[in-house]
Amino acid sequence: MTTTITAQMSQRIGANGRSYWRIYVCLMGESHWPEHVFRGTKVPTLAQRSAALASLGYTVALPQGAGGFWDWSEDSADCDDPSSAVTLIASVPVRPVQRKALRDVARVS
Q: Does residue 2 carry a pLDDT above 90?
A: no
| Per-residue model confidence (pLDDT) at position 3 | 80
β-bridge mates for residue 25, sequence order: 7
Q: Does residue 48 carry a pLDDT above 70?
A: yes
Beta-strand ranges (E) seen in the chain are 5-13, 19-26, 35-39, 58-60, 71-76, 86-96
The rounded percent of the chain whose pLDDT value lies above 90 is 45
For 22-47, the pLDDT digits (tens) are: 999 999 999 999 999 998 888 999 89
pTM for this structure?
0.77
| Per-residue model confidence (pLDDT) at position 102 | 45
Integer CA distances (angstroms), 37 to 4, 34, 41, 78, 100, in order: 22, 10, 12, 23, 25
| Per-residue model confidence (pLDDT) at position 75 | 87
